[in-house]
Amino acid sequence: MRSLITVTLTALSLCACADNAATLAPQSNDTVTATTLTDGLHHPWSLAFLPGNEWLITERRGTLRRLVEGSLQEDPVSGVPEVVAKGQGGLFDVMPHPDFADNQRLYLSYAKPCGGDGGTTAVGYGTYQDGALKDFRDVYVAEKACTNTAKHFGGRILFDNDGYLFVTVGDRGERERAQNTADPAGSVLRLHDDGRIPDDNPLAGESGKAAAIWSWGHRNPQGLALHPDTGKPWLNEHGPRGGDEINAVAAGINYGWPEITYGREYYGPGIGDTKQEGLAQPLLHWTPSIAPSGMAFVTSDRYPDWQGDTVHGALKLTHLNKVAFDGRKPLSEVRLLEDRGDRIRDVRQGPDGYLYLLTDSSNGALLRLETAL
């Protein structure tokens, strides 16, 4: 099914925080068009672009779908590992190795069965060719993060320009774990592509610590992207009732959850403080919550006025969120595609420069953002 939809962007004020939270004045409205390339996807989670005009889309239930020359294939990819497909668990991110053209390695993150009825965040790879994933093996399993709770898995993966693999792991709904550096829950991990732990990780060599941890104090990071200038990872993560965040991820930094947050308990009271010495402030927080998922930096000439801006899916407030930055300082926020009412799970900039979005539903769709006028 293919349709063309013209929508209006609504610019809203945002609350940004470096040392102090600030409110910015709304911007003027703008207009874009979005095209539905395919639908019939079952809660799609992530999108990857392969050579030969083949795209892969994960579905949370544990299937990996192929889009070949723009056509959605009926048969899913074979050789995908078993996943815990309950609650927020399932098949998460998909990403080709930086040298995929030579080694055909395709990486997946997923909720791996553990401890009977439990699940935990894992990442691994297999050799991919022509709709088949062969010899899949895990390179990292967050064994200490195994729990029967079916939420806050994190699950985003990313390669940086030096070939290191970053993995996000949520706090698993047990918030105190995010401050325990012996436990990978509530952290960003940094690994070699085969799962070995780099010697220069901040906790490497420290007795009793989870040496794969790069940063901690995270709640549930579901967006991860490389800054186009610095080559360093930035992420977005879910707060509770408010307090969603954008953070620039750095080695050995504690981002504070749950000791500090701009969010509140779902039943009303505050949680901890908003600031503490030694705990990093977010670059920006969304309060009330938008429930961010998926993140990309815009570098394409398709959107000349958006160079360097970040774009984020929004699940709760059902839009595509665009934030402009001057360095690390947020300047403006614009909310796109609000009229559609779609839960946007992922956003990627494609090899053709267009932005592509996945909508999270039992009849999910792949959308292309055509223009920014």
Burial state string for 82-107 with b = 16 or more CB within 10 A and e = fewer than 16: ebbbeebbbbbbbbbbbebeeebbbb
From the list 276, 274, 296, the residue with the least C-alpha distance to 287 is 274
SS3 136: strand
SS3 292: strand
Catalytic residue at 152? yes
Give phi and psi for 305, each to the nearest 5. -85, 0
Q: Report how far residue 358's alpha carbon sits from residue 336's, in angstroms, rounded to the nearest whole number.
A: 14
Beta bridge partners of 127: 105, 134
Assigned token pair, 320: 């595509």
Tell me whether residue 300 is exposed, middle or buried, using C-beta atoms within 10 angstroms of its C-beta: 0 to 12, 13 to 18, 19 or more.
Answer: middle
Q: Report how far residue 334's alpha carbon sits from residue 303's, in angstroms, rounded to the nearest whole number.
A: 14
From the list 314, 281, 311, 275, the residue with the least C-alpha distance to 296 is 311
Assigned token pair, 306: 């958006």
Handedness of CA 194, 200, 206, 212 (dihedral sign): negative
Catalytic residue among 42, 43, 97, 152: 152
Is the bond preceding 258 in cis, omega lying within 30 degrees of 0? yes
Mind telling me the catalytic residues?
152
